[in-house]
A = this chain, B = another copy of it.
């Protein structure tokens, strides 16, 4: 295949590339970009390093592809919040989805956290682009709900930050959470959901 045009990828190429993405997600999410090595990824994928580099141009290329797919997954729970729905139901649902994402996709959460923590050098303008736009968009909805007196008035952007923070915490700071609680894997997310629910919808002060 000497011509510059890309030919349709073979079945093996699709499989192996997926295998590599999976392995890379493991390694990158656990060690960050700099901390991860091609050897680790290759081993996790059960391939030799040169073989790995047959499927991906470079370490950066693997990471970039993971990043690409990440942001969408990341923002979908928020996208699904329906402007025409009932505020209580919609917010409850959004928090629920975010918490489930932390439970079911902790590696993705950590990959994202690693990237942001280090200044988002590779996620770059995605943040001030699509992410900002979506938050802006949903803030309008929240403000409407507030104006209608259906939820308490507060800064909608910071409200979204608060939801992100409390839910992602359970994926990103998992070690700490487990150290405090002493594992008990099943109860953890149930109790977290209950606490967040009470805190957000009732508040701390008895009425």
Beyond A165-B165, A172-B117, whether A201 also contacts B199 by CB under 8 A is: no
The reply to whether A176 and B120 contact each other, CB–CB distance below 8 Å, is yes
Main secondary structure of the interface of A (DSSP, over half): helix
**Shortest Cβ gap from A186 to chain B (Å):** 15
Q: Which of A135, A149, A199 has the most CB of B within 10 A?
A: A199
Closest to A207 in B: B207
**Shortest Cβ gap from A153 to chain B (Å):** 8
**Shortest Cβ gap from A101 to chain B (Å):** 15
Q: Does A14 make an interface contact (CB < 8 A)? A: no
Interface residues of A in 109-155 (CB under 8 A from B): 110, 113-114, 116-120, 127-128, 131-132, 135-136, 149-155
- Contact among B151, B176, B205 for A204, CB-based, below 8 A: B151
Beyond A180-B131, A202-B203, A204-B200, whether A191 also contacts B155 by CB under 8 A is: yes
Q: Does A177 make an interface contact (CB < 8 A)? A: yes
Q: Does A206 make an interface contact (CB < 8 A)? A: yes
The reply to whether A155 and B195 contact each other, CB–CB distance below 8 Å, is yes
Q: Does A164 make an interface contact (CB < 8 A)? A: yes
Q: How large is the interface on A (under 10, 10 to 19, 20 to 34, 35 or more residues)?
A: 35 or more
Report the Cα distance A196→B168, complex, angstroms.
17
Given contacts A91-B204, A113-B117, A203-B203, 7 further A-B contacts (CB under 8 A): A32-B32, A117-B117, A127-B180, A152-B204, A158-B192, A161-B177, A162-B199
Q: Which residues of A contact B (CB under 8 A)?
A: 30-35, 88, 91, 110, 113-114, 116-120, 127-128, 131-132, 135-136, 149-155, 157-159, 161-162, 164-166, 168-170, 172-173, 175-177, 179-182, 191-192, 194-196, 198-207
